[in-house]
Structure 1
Amino acid sequence: MTLNPLVYVCVMSSFNLPEWEACLLRRPSDVVLVVSSFKQAQEGAEHMAELLEQQLPGVVVHRPESRTMPLAGDDALSAQAWLNQVLLPYLARPALAEKPRWLNMTGGTKSMQLALLTTVRWEQLDYTPANSGQVRAIGLEKAPLAPLEERGSETLTTASAKDVARLYNNSVTFGVPNPLLYRPASCELAERIFRGLTDEDPGLDAMFAALRRLWIDGSGQEQWKQKELALTWPEFLEGETFPDPALMVWLQSVEMLAPECWSISESGICLPGNKVKNKSSGMHGALKEWLTSGWWEQLAHVWLLGAGLPEAAVASNVHGGEQQENSSTKREADLLVHFRSRTTVVEVKVEPAPGQAPKEMENQVSGLADRFGRTQKALLVSPLVRRRLKARQWEDFAARCRANNVALCEDRATLLQAVGAAPAVATTPHKTPHKEVRA
């Protein structure tokens, strides 16, 4: 798509998502960033410029500056002086002077916007009301301070969740999807696991109890530190000579999903051991990761896409930080959702880690919120979390989440509500197309 011959002026701050989405809609040939000396505004401008050049090929990004007159931005009179001595001469350059001049007045301080409105003549003003998904176009009939003229509104071009992450972080990476997500059986099994945990299925509980004993409680034991374990039924079931029918149903379901690293026989079971850590360790690691947490993340992703969210609205395993080479600055969001101009960080928990206090689960998602701009926070917990806590512990935990503006979600309906998506009625089980699970 071609760019529009337009000078589009945006004021930078620590929250530049409305300006970014407006640029995607307007597709201006020239974007002028007004950047104060505020550190967060400086960083935001760098991210904005990089994204503009990536996503709008051919755009020219301008950043007027003066070594002798920095822009404070919080004083209308000093801002007006900066506009007269720095911005206006810059806009008078031949490459810009003959193009229409529009101001996006969504961001920045009120003092900065007052100076801009009273100092510079604009052909149009753009403004995005909070959580509206619309950019409002306003015309100035004659000179600044003349009566405002309503010119309607247009639906914004929504940014992708990945762009939101890049806009607020110097270093962003996205985790490689678990290869099991590409197997159709995984989606159906994830839904069955959720229903089984909800209904307290004894066979499912028995399987997870055995896996917990091997993979979590026994993580430090040498006999389990192998890529693959070949166990007799008494070893796997702590004395039981053979699985009962309820347990066997679940063991066979996992075997159908990943027969190359999970097999059952009359004498016992072969399954991944503790030498593999995660999905980067081959299929054995992929299955171990999927059974411990991946099934729940997959089901959450499928619920979101099944409710009508675009694929680009959801990013999985987002690592955001300040430095690519310094992992200590990075934090991971299980799901980052940007839908209808609303960004939500979703932490997904199957059950508390050994020794983990309930409040630490809330701390994890709250600590992520400022890594991705102005966000909502959500914590999606499986039925195991409520079952692991006593009634009073759960009540205190839920109250803590409410006090810290964390939406506590336990199922599809509450997850969709947390991200601002109306629940959709599903007439058939959701499938997981290959493209929907790409990070």
Structure 2
Amino acid sequence: MSLHSLVYVCVVSGFNLPELESCLARRPAQVLLVVSDAFQQQAARLNGVLEQLLPGVQVRILSHATTGVALQGDEVLENQQWVQQVLLPCLNQPPLNALPRALNFTGGTKAMAAVLLHAHAWGFLDYKALNHDALQVLEPVGDGRTFAAAPAVALPAVLPQFVAALHADQVSSDPPNRILDQQPEASLALARDIWQAQEHGCPHLRALFQHLERLWVLEHDNPTYRTRRLRLDWAEFLQGPEQPAAGLLRWLERFRALDPSALDWNDQRIELPGNRPDKTHRALRQWISGLWLEQLAYHWLLEADIAPDAIARNLKCGQRQDSASQRELDLLVHRQGKTRLVEIKAGYPPGLSPGTLESQLSSIGSRFGRTEKALLLGPQPRQLLMEGKRWDTFALRCEASGICLLHSRAMLVAFICNGAAGVRKEAGNAGEN
């Protein structure tokens, strides 16, 4: 789709999704970004996303770094001087001086908006109001001091990975897990059965997961287990002299069916991926360790008619030259102008503080913009918290941090469709039933 002969002026802030949506709707050939000193990094990210999504667009970042003129944005007179020194000379240079100009005044301070609105005889004005799904358009009347409403402009959907890219320098995702790629139907069926079995308190599955969590989580740094393959006597695996129960072996058989080379056993011992597994066997270990619930949650959303393009899975986001900033987002969903983030926990290893689960999510804060956050717990960790009489305290801690605590398919769908209000309504309906 071609670009329009238009100079489109936007003000960069800490939250630039409205500006991105507006540019995608308007498709201007020229974009001028008004950038105060505090938001130069955000401007660079917005520029990068615009260049990806609008091939051929010319973006000019009007910042201290590019113009040599500082801009704080909070004082009317300073803004007025900046417009005279920087913005107007830029607009009057070719080829911009021959094109129509429009202002999007959604971002920035009130002082900035007050100056920009009357800085130039704009062809039209755009504004994206909070919680509105269309772009409000105003056209000047008479001498340009007053405005009249023009037809609103629909805003296009933005893929969640580009929403994340507005808030992180690097956004990537790993290739699909081999189990999901090669055994999609069998693994999904098994994931559904795991959820149901845990909901009904299957002791054999619970014991199996606890033994695997001990080896793969609690003993992760134990040199004995930092190998490609573990070959353990049953007594060491089960932490006792008993032989494996028939029910536990049935679950192992179902796991092995997903990757027959990854698991093996006989009457004396079991062989399974270690804590430095090769690529071949890493896939099954990852799936057992929690990917099964991520797969199940994703399909719950698809079954609820959430568009696949609205859902990003396992995004890795970080800042350049700062490995500590790396975060992996289990589910990031952006639809109908709302961004919602879901952390998924299928297990609860012994000794882990409940607060750790909450802090992992609350530490994200507003790093990915105006997002609602939720924590989806599998049945087993929820049961362990309830048995330890820590569920109520944990739930209150999540609530205080603005995190929705989810523990069912219906709650997950309600959160993605309607946010925290949807979860409260769903919880109320469940209580009535």
What range is the shorter-chain TM-score in? 0.7 to 0.9
| In structure 1, distance between residues paired with 2:131 and 2:139 | 22
| In structure 1, distance between residues paired with 2:62 and 2:225 | 62
- Cα 1:8–1:217 change in 2 (3 A) is closer
Which residue number in structure 2 is paired with residue 91 of structure 1?
A: 91
Which residue number in structure 2 is paired with residue 430 of structure 1?
A: none
Which residue number in structure 1 is paired with residue 190 of structure 2?
A: 189
1:60 to partner: Cα distance:
0.8
Which residue number in structure 1 is paired with residue 333 of structure 2?
A: 337
| In structure 2, distance between residues paired with 1:301 and 1:414 | 13
More displaced stretch, 390-399 vs 282-291: 390-399
1:230-309 equivalences under 5 Å are 230-231=231-232, 236-237=237-238, 238-244=240-246, 246-264=247-265, 269-276=270-277, 281-309=278-306
Contact 1:102 1:125 in 2 (8 A): yes
Q: Secondary structure at the match of 1:94?
A: coil
Total equivalences in the alignment: 414
Deviation digits for residues 117-156 of structure 1 (CA, Å, limit 9, x no counterpart) = 122222222222223332222222233331x322232331
- Cα 1:91–1:213 change in 2 (3 A) is closer
| In structure 2, distance between residues paired with 1:397 and 1:369 | 18
TM-score, normalised with respect to structure 1: 0.86
Q: Which has the bigger relative contact order, CA under 8 A and spacing at least 6? A: 1
| In structure 1, distance between residues paired with 2:201 and 2:6 | 61
1:97 to partner: Cα distance:
2.2
More displaced stretch, 406-415 vs 352-361: 352-361
| In structure 2, distance between residues paired with 1:321 and 1:224 | 30
Contact 2:169 2:319 in 1 (8 A): yes
1:42 to partner: Cα distance:
1.1
1:382-421 equivalences under 5 Å are 382-390=378-386, 392-420=389-417
Contact 2:4 2:29 in 1 (8 A): yes
| In structure 2, distance between residues paired with 1:261 and 1:63 | 53
1:161 equivalent in alignment to 2:163: no
- Cα 1:357–1:236 change in 2 (3 A) is closer
Contact 1:65 1:86 in 2 (8 A): no
Percent identity at matched positions?
39
Contact 1:369 1:377 in 2 (8 A): no
Contact 1:120 1:144 in 2 (8 A): no
Contact 2:18 2:106 in 1 (8 A): yes
1:27-46 equivalences under 5 Å are 27-37=27-37, 39=38, 41-46=39-44
| In structure 2, distance between residues paired with 1:181 and 1:198 | 23
1:411 to partner: Cα distance:
1.8
1:157 to partner: Cα distance:
1.3
- Cα 1:141–1:205 change in 2 (3 A) is same
| In structure 2, distance between residues paired with 1:29 and 1:285 | 47
1:371-382 equivalences under 5 Å are 371-382=367-378
Q: Secondary structure at the match of 1:420?
A: helix
Which residue number in structure 2 is paired with residue 77 of structure 1?
A: 77
RMSD (Å), alpha carbons: 2.5
Q: Secondary structure at the match of 2:31?
A: strand
| In structure 2, distance between residues paired with 1:345 and 1:265 | 43
Contact 1:255 1:264 in 2 (8 A): no
Contact 1:234 1:242 in 2 (8 A): no
More displaced stretch, 219-228 vs 196-205: 219-228
More displaced stretch, 396-405 vs 118-127: 118-127
Contact 1:131 1:340 in 2 (8 A): no
- Cα 1:220–1:137 change in 2 (3 A) is closer
- Cα 1:399–1:335 change in 2 (3 A) is same
Which residue number in structure 1 is paired with residue 119 of structure 2?
A: 119
1:233 to partner: Cα distance:
5.1
1:54 to partner: Cα distance:
2.0
| In structure 2, distance between residues paired with 1:346 and 1:210 | 27
Contact 1:135 1:154 in 2 (8 A): yes
1:232 to partner: Cα distance:
5.6
Deviation digits for residues 286-307 of structure 1 (CA, Å, limit 9, x no counterpart) = 2112111111122222223333
Letter of the structure 1 residue corresponding to residue 315 of structure 2 = V
Q: Secondary structure at the match of 1:106?
A: coil
Letter of the structure 1 residue corresponding to residue 192 of structure 2 = E
Which residue number in structure 1 is paired with residue 428 of structure 2?
A: none
- Cα 1:420–1:120 change in 2 (3 A) is farther
- Cα 1:229–1:107 change in 2 (3 A) is same
Q: Secondary structure at the match of 2:197?
A: helix
| In structure 2, distance between residues paired with 1:256 and 1:268 | 19
1:164 to partner: Cα distance:
1.6
Deviation digits for residues 340-381 of structure 1 (CA, Å, limit 9, x no counterpart) = 222222221123344321112111111113322222211111
Structure 1, gaps ≥5 residues long: 424-439
Contact 2:5 2:100 in 1 (8 A): yes
| In structure 1, distance between residues paired with 2:318 and 2:222 | 34
